[in-house]
């Protein structure tokens, strides 16, 4: 009989199951406390019960765990300093969606040499998340692969669904079962309708094909996630953090009978991918809040130890420590200045801000 399947598959290498990986890197009490407290705090912010803003801040992607941990330790101290006004969540992105080609992230290619040791990347990624959470620093990530949350979803406090996947049925179904609040980004063309529809979809129950802790195929049945919200990241050649764009987004959410919760991504198209413009975006939106905006509940910032970015060299020893290998970031000193400035502007405004009813 002629072969009709796997015609373009070279091999099927077995992965350790989620339970096996968790068994080797078990959730600790300290890490669990960090995750649960941060999730509840973000939920309270989205509900309007906590007047603070949350800020997802950190490297565009994790490629060097040592540099990532140094960043986490610095963020730990800054988070404590700003905690009366801002809840800081470290951006820990292991999976990178590619428009065409490029490094797919730490989980997919941890050695950065196209060996694609996903088994190794998953174990090292989980251990990194454990280490970060045990510092008391919560983590946020982008959910790209629908199986990955089974391996480290218990260590995530906030999840993003990217601009390229907010319209994906698979990602909407997955989001309906995630244990975290989920931010859906507007499309790469700047349109918010796809993200708003995703929030509506993820809020309802779904049944879909997935895997269980043993790695076996399973029918996943979810109850729905009511903490979906909109992330504005610009698109279509223009930003959308200005007062008119945010007002239009609020109106779209209102018509959909959804809470008017908006997170502004200071990077990507909102800053034309120029990291030096991220502080200007945050400053502009902070002033909108002081002048009466009631819908913005958080920010996203791409930040690392060193500013800018770098290409991945053939000789990995030549990588610059603490510098992004994907999107360009603001450096640490700039991060501190922009967050302290936001706190200064918002410290007296947020406690008395009247949030809109759902």
Q: Are 55 and 298 in contact (CB under 8 A)?
A: yes
Question: Which domains are assigned to the chain?
Answer: 18-45+53-352 (3.20.20.70)
Per-residue pLDDT reduced to its tens digit, 94-149? 997 765 578 999 999 999 999 999 999 999 999 999 999 999 999 999 999 999 99
Reading the block at residue 137, the tokens are 């620093």
DSSP 110-163: TTSSS---HHHHHHHHHHHHHHHHHTT--EEEE--STTTHHHHGGG-SEEEE-T
Instruction: List the structure tokens of 322.
Output: 């603490």
% of the chain exceeding 70 in pLDDT: 98
Confidence tier at 357 by pLDDT (50, 70, 90): low
Average pLDDT estimate for 59-75: 98
Closest CA to 106 of 75, 145, 74, 133: 145
What's the mean pLDDT when you consider all of the chain? 96
pLDDT tens-digit readout, 262-277: 999 999 999 999 999 9
Tell me: the pLDDT tens digits for 202-246?
A: 999 999 999 999 999 999 999 999 999 999 999 999 999 999 999
Q: How do 207-211 and 217-221 pair as beta strands? A: antiparallel
pLDDT in tens, 300-346: 999 999 999 999 999 999 999 999 999 999 999 999 999 999 999 99
């Amino acid at each position: 009989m002629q072969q009709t399947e796997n015609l373009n598959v070279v091999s099927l290498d077995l992965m350790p199951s989620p339970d096996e990986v968790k068994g080797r890197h078990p959730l600790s009490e300290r890490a669990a406390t960090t995750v649960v407290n941060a999730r509840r705090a973000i939920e309270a912010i989205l509900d309007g019960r906590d007047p603070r803003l949350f800020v997802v801040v950190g490297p565009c992607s994790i490629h060097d765990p040592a540099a990532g941990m140094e960043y986490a330790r610095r963020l730990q101290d800054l988070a404590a300093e700003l905690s009366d006004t801002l809840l800081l969540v470290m951006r820990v992105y292991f999976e990178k969606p590619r428009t065409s080609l490029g490094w797919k992230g730490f989980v997919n290619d941890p050695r950065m040499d196209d060996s694609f040791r996903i088994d190794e990347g998953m174990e090292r990624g989980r251990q990194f998340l454990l280490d970060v959470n045990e510092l008391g620093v919560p983590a946020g990530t982008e959910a790209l692969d629908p199986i990955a949350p089974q391996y480290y979803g218990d260590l995530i406090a906030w999840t993003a669904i990217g601009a390229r996947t907010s319209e994906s049925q698979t990602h909407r179904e997955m989001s309906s079962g995630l244990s975290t609040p989920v931010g859906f980004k507007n499309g790469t063309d700047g349109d918010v309708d796809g993200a708003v529809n995703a929030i509506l979809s993820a809020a309802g129950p779904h049944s879909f094909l997935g895997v269980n802790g043993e790695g076996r195929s399973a029918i996943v049945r979810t109850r729905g996630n009511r903490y979906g919200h909109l992330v504005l990241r610009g698109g279509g050649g223009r930003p959308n953090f200005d007062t008119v764009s945010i007002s239009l987004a609020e109106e779209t959410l209102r018509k959909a009978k959804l809470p008017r919760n908006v997170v502004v991504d200071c990077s990507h198209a909102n800053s034309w991918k120029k990291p030096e413009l991220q502080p200007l975006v945050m400053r502009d939106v902070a002033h909108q809040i002081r002048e009466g905006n009631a819908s913005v509940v958080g920010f996203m910032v791409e930040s690392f130890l060193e500013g800018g970015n770098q290409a991945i060299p053939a000789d990995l020893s030549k990588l610059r420590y603490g510098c992004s290998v994907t999107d360009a970031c603001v450096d640490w000193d700039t991060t501190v200045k922009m967050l302290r400035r936001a706190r200064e502007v918002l410290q007296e405004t947020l406690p008395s801000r009247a949030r809109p009813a759902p």
